[in-house]
Structure 1
Amino acid sequence: MSAPGRPTGYRVRRVTTSRAGGVSKPPYDAFNLGDHVGDSPADVAANRRRLAEKIGLTPDRLVFMDQIHGRTVTVVDGSVRETVPATDALVTTERDLALVVLAADCVPVLLSDDHAGVIAAVHAGRIGARVGIVPRVLDAMVAAGASVSRIEGFLGPAAGGEDYEVPAAMQRDVEAHLPGSATRTRKGTPGLDIRAGLRRQLLEAGVAGVAVDPRETITDRTLFSHRRGAPTGRHAGVIWMDTSGARS
């Protein structure tokens, strides 16, 4: 039963950016949204303003993270005015507030319970996925009013198992903590597919469904990839609840 006067459904929007459409110069060309990679602060600010404009929000309604490859989850509201420090996941019930996760091989995870109006953006690289960032996010979403059985997930572009080569010991360690992530690369060497492991983890947790962007960052030059060539920029996964989509 919903609370009196509270909408019972939300129009959740998701966007994944690419390298195209920005003002940054090489090697960050062109739509780099990361302010921690050595790019011109003015160019990054211009790109972030362009992102806000394209999704119909003002720049102050975009929430970025200081991502540290951990498992800290932060619940935010409209009072956020700066990059959220030392966190790898954002959760909100605020409408018209866009949560932004940056990546360049790590997995951008976007989650939502459209009925309850709870959304999350998660930075899940090898380390964060291994230490359990996603289960912590699910717990935070439930605490905010979501139901796991209604949560739907989207896994954005990331390093794929055919090209993400790692030492055998690292592969075994990650597989032990994130089953389903171990692969063999196209060269026949030990590899990791973090998206495969995360998809399995989410489905086993009982979420309603998980969609996966098939693009692979290491080989797709329309996307940024730290493993392909650093320094480089960061693309983004963005999720927000559109005011015009609320249903009562």
Structure 2
Amino acid sequence: MPQYSQAVDGGLVRVAFTTREEGNLALHVGDDPETVAARRARLVAELGLPAAAQFMDQVHSTVVARLETPERPGPTADALVTAAADLPLAVMVADCLPVVFAAVSGESVALGAAHAGRRGLLDGILPETVDRLREAVDAGAAPARLTAWIGPSICGRCYEVPASMRADAERLLPGIGSTTRGGSDGLDLPGAAARQLRALGVDVVASGVCTLEDDRFYSYRRDPATGRIAGIIWRSAGEGDETRKDSR
């Protein structure tokens, strides 16, 4: 699965985006709950997580929940933020953008995970998450440095929408419109998200993987009855000097 890491004081921030090989990780798509729970539990060992990942009940909102201890079941929100060192965060998608964050200020580190579909992106879920991350770190030592990883999601060449929807989206987020491979109207969610985040002073690492084009990943456009992959971010002990990618 695609993985990344970034050195922080005292260890690493690690990021992973699961694939269909790890199975469906969502409880709301008709899968057996015990099977989903077992898959989620396996990720702890497979990824070396310090604890079970914190999921959320995603509803295409701009609600950001800040947690310092696990909540079971997860909160109803479309982004999570934590300053806890031992709380991995998770976001589920099947074409929408999985965006995970690290905010670092001196020895203070906060993590975030956001679900950015068309509606959430246009309504401002990413700027809201960035604001909450900056609040979560102690910026007394230095301004917070933020990094965002945009995981596998549908690309602007594949995300076809009606002309009226493209026009409405352009009014809210200029530059989001695209032209699909077939010459029809589309939306480029990953590109728009990256531009929006960079304008907020966030460093962006984009996977460049389209979930509709790459059958290693679930895609709602390919199959509306599909499962969900997860983007996961956590802190771990280790050494490293810079963001790196492992596409196993």
TM range (shorter): 0.7 to 0.9
Secondary structure of 2:235's counterpart equals strand
Q: 2:178 aligns with which of 163, 183, 189?
A: 183
Q: CA, structure 1 residues 154+170, in 2 after alignment: closer, same or farther (shift >3 Å)?
A: same
Give the 4+ runs in structure 1 shifted more than 2 A: 7-10, 146-149, 243-246
- The aligned amino acid for 2:118 is R
Tell me the alpha carbon deviations over residues 7-48 of structure 1, each in whole angstroms, 9 at most, x when there is no partner: 955511100100014xxxxxxxxx110011001112101110
Paired position in structure 1 for 2:17: 16
Paired position in structure 2 for 1:111: 101
Secondary structure of 1:143's counterpart equals helix
Secondary structure of 2:21's counterpart equals coil
Contact 1:18 1:222 in 2 (8 A): yes
Paired position in structure 1 for 2:132: 140
Paired position in structure 2 for 1:65: 56
Q: CA, structure 1 residues 102+218, in 2 after alignment: closer, same or farther (shift >3 Å)?
A: same
Contact 2:122 2:173 in 1 (8 A): yes
Tell me the alpha carbon deviations over residues 76-96 of structure 1, each in whole angstroms, 9 at most, x when there is no partner: 112x23132320000001112
Q: 1:237 aligns with which of 218, 231, 234?
A: 231
Give the distance between the partners of 1:149 and 1:93, measured in 2 at CA: 13
Contact 2:220 2:226 in 1 (8 A): yes
- The aligned amino acid for 2:189 is I
What's the TM-score, normalizing by structure 2? Answer: 0.86
Displacement of 1:146: 6.2
Paired position in structure 2 for 1:44: 36
Paired position in structure 2 for 1:165: 160
Alignment of 1:74 onto 2:74? no
Give the distance between the partners of 1:54 and 1:8, measured in 2 at CA: 24
Displacement of 1:205: 1.0
Q: CA, structure 1 residues 133+234, in 2 after alignment: closer, same or farther (shift >3 Å)?
A: same
Alignment of 1:194 onto 2:189? yes
Paired position in structure 2 for 1:213: 207
Displacement of 1:243: 4.3
Secondary structure of 1:67's counterpart equals coil
Give the distance between the partners of 2:155 and 2:138, measured in 1 at CA: 30
Q: Paired residues, what number? A: 228
Give the distance between the partners of 1:157 and 1:72, measured in 2 at CA: 22
Give the distance between the partners of 2:231 and 2:9, measured in 1 at CA: 25
- The aligned amino acid for 2:71 is R
Flag structure 2 segments of 5+ consecutive residues without an equivalent: 1-7, 241-248
Flag structure 1 segments of 5+ consecutive residues without an equivalent: 1-6, 22-30
Q: What is the CA RMSD across the aligned residues, in angstroms?
A: 1.9
Contact 2:56 2:73 in 1 (8 A): yes
Contact 1:165 1:191 in 2 (8 A): yes
